[in-house]
Amino acid sequence: MRLLRIMQAADVARSIKPAVCPEVMEQARVIVERVRLGGEDAVRAYASDFDDRSPSAPLVLAPDAMQEAFDSIDEEARQLLRRVSDRIARFAMAQRESIQPMTIDVPGGKAGHTIEPVRSAGCYAPCGRYPLPSSVLMTAVTARVSGCKRVVVASPGANPLMLAAAHVAAADEFLCVGGAHAIAAMAYGFSGFQRCDVIVGPGNAWVTAAKQIVSGVVGIDMLAGPSELLIIADETADPKLIAADLLAQAEHDVDAVPMLLTTSNELVTAVERELADQLESLPTAATARSALANGFVVRCDSLSQAIALTDQIGPEHLEIMTRDASSIPEQVGNAGGVFIGSQTAEVYGDYGIGPNHTLPTGGTSRFSAGLSVASFLRLRTWIEIVSAEENRCFASDAAQMAGLEGLSGHAVSVHARTRV
């Protein structure tokens, strides 16, 4: 049996799974509603069931606990967290500086927008089989750079590495629970813990479902569920690198989706051989092997067909390993993050070379983008009319539009100022 199944191009669209399946959505809805109604008691009950958190353990930790965890890890790890944090912050600061207030002239005055950060950010970071301090840094550092006054990190348990990363990110609170109940707690709050305004970060299917459920109550960044990698490759690509990158994605969890689109028959065979060889020595082979079963390889007639299939899939991560790799991204419409050329491992994005690793999955890159400072900012518009005389031409149009829509009160509001 092949590790990576061969699929026909015509079957790709039918293979795309939604970010959240209906069964998980219903289960998450029950959890979210119980937390909304039950508050702290419900959160504690779920924390005991799913997070191995004892009933007497605090649910929320303060900065001193994060500092203590940071001090407890070795110096090499402390310096590593600081370096990664600095790179994430540098990129986020550049993004923030690129988003500017704006003012234009309008009849009789001016209009524009200001840039306002949300006050309170909830940053979810998974901690399942392994702690993921990179997700703490990606979310909380970006929230802090954006100007949020309160930054909460939520992660199951109180893993020292996660707490240490939260300290480096200057988080204000650490919520020691995970899953859908953590999302609900940040959305609704409970006694002694205020609700957040925006919830961001990746997670499992229940986390993703809960974010979708509470999205009408708080802002969310995107639906960031099980990880995906799609590689576009031609005959010039190195099968060893392709296999290594597919396995790096597959080892995330058994729900990960590794995909390959290639114009080379020889590459299909070579990658399959490399996958088998590399699995032999990979400590996470069991997880990776299961995840490979979710993925596929498509032998494409041309790069144009590969690009068209990519837009159908809308992958979280897109690697391009072709002869003229730098020409491909401008032709792709839907992808969360793009990694150009054989030297650009997707792993570099995971671990903080700059751009954020929290990206849309399940085809949602068709309408959403990865986490950035923009996820925590609001463009608030304003209008100021100072000259009724100069505004007269527009006021006349406004009164006529009110008439077209049958809203006489709108017309009265205009007439009261201009007597048009």
Residue 15 has which token pair?
Answer: 């293979």
Identify residue 406 by its one-letter amino acid code: G
Residue 33 is among the residues annotated as catalytic for this protein: no
C-alpha closest to that of 242 among 211, 210, 269: 269
| 3-class DSSP state of 168 | helix
236 with 245: CB under 8 angstroms?
A: no
The owner of tokens 């990698």 is 229
127 with 75: CB under 8 angstroms?
A: no
DSSP string, 241-305: HHHHHHHHHHTS-TT-EEEEEES-HHHHHHHHHHHHHHHTT-TTHHHHHHHHTT-EEEE-SSHHH
Torsion of CA 229, 233, 237, 243, to 10 degrees: 30
C-alpha closest to that of 126 among 54, 207, 66: 207
* Segment holding 78, helix H or strand E: helix 75-98
C-alpha closest to that of 164 among 240, 80, 66: 66
* Segment holding 124, helix H or strand E: strand 120-124
Residue 250 has which token pair?
Answer: 């597959």
| Catalytic residue chosen out of the listed positions 181, 252, 317, 357 | 317
Residue 213 has which token pair?
Answer: 């459920």
* Segment holding 397, helix H or strand E: helix 392-405
Torsion sign (Cα): 26, 28, 223, 130: negative
| Catalytic residue chosen out of the listed positions 173, 274, 316, 346 | 316
Chain centroid, CA 313 distance in Å: 17
C-alpha closest to that of 182 among 1, 326, 342, 60: 60
- Residue 167 gets which letter from DSSP? H
Residues involved in catalysis: 316-317
